[in-house]
Amino acid sequence: MADIDRPETPHARTYSISELCREFGVSARTLRFYEQKGLLHPGRRGWTRIFSHRDRARLQLILRGKRVGFSLEEIREMLDLYNLRDGQVTQLTVASHKMHERLDGLKRQRVELDDAIAELERALEIVDGMLRERSAQSSDLEPESI
């Protein structure tokens, strides 16, 4: 049977830059930047970039990593460990360690934000109370209209 009659396997599927841009809501410039930084490795057909299933999966991980605050260097480090041929044990260990660190950092930031919000709310109560007092006093002092 000819290759054309065989159903396409998910790993054989390729994607154009515009398909990935639409699917993930990123610009072509973003994809070219990730390629320049060595995070994506599309093939070429002339000037056209051809992204593989692996590139699509890497893009998904890059965007997820960025969303939770990892730097591109941290993301690259985790992605590059995939090729060690150790059943991903090293990659998963490093990823787990980095994710625990990031989670701890975000929890600390949440506590700091909650404290800052509470402090600001207390300050606003004081300032708004003072403003109401001053407004009431100034209306008592206004001369009567003739």
Helices (H) and strands (E) in the chain, counts: 5, 3
If one counts every other C-beta atom within 10 angstroms of the C-beta of residue 107, the result is 10
Which of helix, strand or coil describes residue 44?
strand
pLDDT for the residue 84:
72
Dist. CA 62–CA 12, nearest whole Å: 21
Lowest mean pLDDT among 1-10, 50-59, 100-109: 1-10
- Contacts by residues 97-101 (CB-CB < 8 Å, ≥ 24 positions apart): 98/70, 98/74, 99/68
Q: In this prediction, what percent of the chain has a pLDDT beyond 90?
A: 69
pLDDT for the residue 80:
84
**72-91 mean pLDDT:** 84
pLDDT for the residue 146:
52
The answer to whether residue 28 is domain-embedded is: yes
Over 80: is that where the pLDDT of 26 sits? Answer: yes
Over 70: is that where the pLDDT of 5 sits? Answer: no
| One domain for residues 92 and 118 | yes
| One domain for residues 44 and 88 | no
If one counts every other C-beta atom within 10 angstroms of the C-beta of residue 102, the result is 15
Confidence of residue 2 (pLDDT cuts 50, 70, 90): very low
pTM of the model: 0.70
* Best CA proximity match to 21, nearest among 71, 74, 59: 59
What DSSP element (H or E) covers 49?
Answer: strand 48-52
The answer to whether residue 46 is domain-embedded is: yes
Dist. CA 120–CA 143, nearest whole Å: 36
| One domain for residues 75 and 114 | yes
Domain boundaries, position 17 = 9-67
Name, in order, each residue with C-beta under 8 angstroms of 44's C-beta and a sequence gap of 6 or more: 50
Over 60: is that where the pLDDT of 63 sits? Answer: yes
Decide: 69 and 109 in contact? Cβ < 8 Å: no
| One domain for residues 96 and 45 | no
Mean pLDDT of the chain: 88
The answer to whether residue 144 is domain-embedded is: no
> Which of 34, 49, 67 marks a domain boundary?
67
